[in-house]
């Protein structure tokens, strides 16, 4: 299966390397290979104006949803451009699209992300998938899908020692068991408003406010959610002079329904682009 997409506010590098997902890697030819749940995918520039996507999953609707092509980023950019301090960030990260990632995979990935760095997060997740995920053969390569909650719920703590996730091991198992028992019901989550959805997610050990917000933003498409972490708090303080206790109100008033996208522009510009 091959899909061609014209490039409009979409960059492979910026979308896959901006810290929202952890299973994409670029090879020496500039081709991105990744796995989404149990779907292997290959993405590259067909021409300077088009992106080619090949996958083990032949359903174009799946990828249209994952890449969030229903969101009009030209309109988003226009609305956010009223904030002049954000303009350099928008320009630098113009190709970022907030993905709609698999919910279970996003929960575990951002549990692992807590107090961690991106290379190590990727290493832990890849090892978890290699040990317990489904083997996928695609494009003459071997990939591993993301292990299901049912698979992980059967494990003991010692079974996860090889992934070297440290204290996060017990949180991964807690998440799996609560999802399997439906103490945390993933089918209900998309229908809950933000406060209720966060409360549901925070039943899982290791899921605090920031991780819950990341899950809402990067999986459920809640673009009005602005995850606050060390980086974004520092950026808001230095750029706008906002005190921490005032940040939620400031974010809502300044960015509105596009707060999550604004957050990713800010993070990409100040935490990634400026540190290259």
Task: Report the chain (276 residues): mean pLDDT per 10 consecutive residues.
Answer: 72 94 95 94 88 90 91 93 94 94 97 93 97 96 97 97 95 98 97 97 97 98 95 95 96 96 95 77
Residue 115 domain-assigned (yes or no): yes
Query: Do 114 and 86 share a domain, yes or no?
Result: no
Q: How many domains, the chain?
A: 3
- Tell me if 125 sits within 8 A of 112, measured CB to CB: yes
Residue 35 domain-assigned (yes or no): yes
Query: Do 120 and 191 share a domain, yes or no?
Result: yes
Residue 95 domain-assigned (yes or no): no
Enumerate the β-bridge partners of residue 32.
26, 43
Q: Phi first, then psi: give them for residue 238, nearest 5 degrees.
A: -75, -35
Residue 238 domain-assigned (yes or no): yes
Query: Do 124 and 189 share a domain, yes or no?
Result: yes
Query: Do 64 and 133 share a domain, yes or no?
Result: no
Query: Do 43 and 80 share a domain, yes or no?
Result: no
Residue 263 domain-assigned (yes or no): yes
pTM over 0.75: yes
| Annotated catalytic residue, options 26, 170, 205, 210 | 210
Is residue 210 part of the annotated active site? The answer reads: yes
State residue 2's pLDDT score.
64
State residue 19's pLDDT score.
92
**Owning domain of residue 22:** 2-71
CA distance 110 to 105: 9
């Amino acid at each position: 299966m091959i899909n061609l997409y014209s490039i409009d506010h979409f960059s492979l590098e910026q979308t896959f390397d901006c810290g929202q997902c952890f299973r994409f890697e670029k090879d020496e030819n500039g081709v991105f290979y990744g796995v989404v749940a149990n779907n292997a995918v290959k993405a590259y520039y067909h021409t300077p104006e088009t992106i080619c996507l090949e996958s083990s999953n032949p359903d174009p609707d799946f990828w249209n949803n994952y890449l969030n092509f229903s969101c009009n980023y030209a309109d988003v950019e226009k609305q956010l451009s009223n904030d002049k301090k954000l303009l350099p960030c928008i320009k630098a990260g113009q190709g970022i699209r907030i993905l709609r990632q698999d919910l279970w995979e996003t929960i575990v990935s951002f549990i692992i992300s807590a107090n961690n760095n991106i290379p190590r997060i990727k290493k832990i997740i890849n090892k978890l998938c290699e040990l317990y995920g489904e083997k996928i053969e695609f494009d003459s390569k071997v990939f591993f899908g993301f292990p299901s909650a049912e698979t992980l719920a059967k494990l003991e703590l010692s079974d996860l020692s090889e992934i070297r996730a440290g204290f996060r091991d017990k949180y991964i198992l807690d998440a799996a068991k609560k999802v399997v028992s439906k103490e945390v019901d993933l089918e209900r989550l998309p229908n809950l408003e933000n406060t209720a959805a966060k409360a549901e997610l925070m039943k899982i050990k290791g899921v605090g406010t920031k991780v819950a917000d990341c899950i809402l933003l990067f999986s459920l498409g809640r673009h009005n959610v602005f995850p606050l972490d060390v980086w974004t708090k520092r950026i808001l303080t230095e750029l706008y002079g906002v005190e921490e206790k005032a940040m939620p109100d400031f974010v809502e008033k300044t960015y509105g329904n596009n707060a999550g996208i604004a957050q990713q522009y800010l993070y990409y510009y100040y935490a990634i682009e400026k540190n290259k």
